[in-house]
Amino acid sequence: MRTTHAAARTRAVAGLTDVNTFVGGYAFRHVPHPDAATLVRVLEREAVAAAWVGHLPSVFHRDPTPGNDELLAWTEPHAGVLFPIPVVRPDWPLWQRTLTRARELGAPAVRAYPPQWGMAPGDRAMRALAGACGEAGVVLLLTTRLEDGRQRHWLDSAGDLTAAAVRDIVRAHARVQVLVTAAGRAMIEEVHWGLTAQERARLWWDISWIWGPPEDDLAHLLRTLGADRFVYGSGWPLRLAQTPRANLDLLPDALRKDALATARAVVAAARGAE
């Protein structure tokens, strides 16, 4: 990774941050306009101040290095709004160097895709990455799914991230802070209530895949787990950016007043734990 504009990327951004966005094309279907400039326009339209941005093609790459460079180049013109989240693949040579560079660049988090890399729960490399993120004060961002399981391409056989894998990663190091995107109520509850209070305090979820009314899964989770466990995320460009806002708009009045955790709070927890 190059080391330009590090200072700009460390600037704190006030307001709402979408922690679950990507740029770049998707391997299994056409996605319209998955570019950084479009993302910036979408954020403005949706009144979202900033986004944590992954590199979508890299999800299925073996070597994440070129994708990380591309991500930095694509987001650089939008520094302060788009925050690149590089991939760190912990079974790839020199992965520790990639993590160090990410930290030097001020990246708030790094992404990892254990199902796509064939890493089962308990994988030693993933545990090592969790430990290194805990030591470095960098949030570890995991993706439960990119698409609905019913529509996947026959070559997309990785499967969803499992609750067991998340529990293991959170337990791998006493200071690692983990953010999981695109999980539903069943997985969230299985992980949350399968961890100690100290462990679950280091774990956040985005709301991009949690059902609203009439099942009211989001309302239920905010009541039972607390709003401070959840952050704003959409899954753009694979999913509509309007969805998390609609979900929040449909919460009961009492819950609509409860603020979700901010991306800044998640980062502060990671850096405070160094």
* Contact residues: other proteins, CB under 8 A: 29-32, 45, 147-148, 150-151, 154, 211-216, 218, 236-240, 242-243, 245-247, 249-250
Q: In the bound complex, what is the minimum distance in angstroms from residue 32's beta carbon to other proteins?
A: 5
**How do strand 230-231 and strand 203-206 relate by DSSP bridges?**
parallel
Q: In the bound complex, what is the minimum distance in angstroms from residue 206's beta carbon to other proteins?
A: 14
- Least Cα distance to 139 among 224, 205, 42 occurs for 205
Q: Which is nearer to other proteins, 45 or 97 (CB)?
A: 45
Contact (CB, 8 A) for 161 and 145: yes
Q: How many CB atoms lie within 10 A of CB 144?
A: 22
Contact (CB, 8 A) for 178 and 138: no
CA 106 – CA 101 distance, rounded (Å): 9
Q: Which is nearer to other proteins, 62 or 150 (CB)?
A: 150
Q: In the bound complex, what is the minimum distance in angstroms from residue 159's beta carbon to other proteins?
A: 17
Q: Which is nearer to other proteins, 169 or 221 (CB)?
A: 221
Q: Which is nearer to other proteins, 34 or 106 (CB)?
A: 34
Contact (CB, 8 A) for 110 and 133: yes
Q: In the bound complex, what is the minimum distance in angstroms from residue 232's beta carbon to other proteins?
A: 14
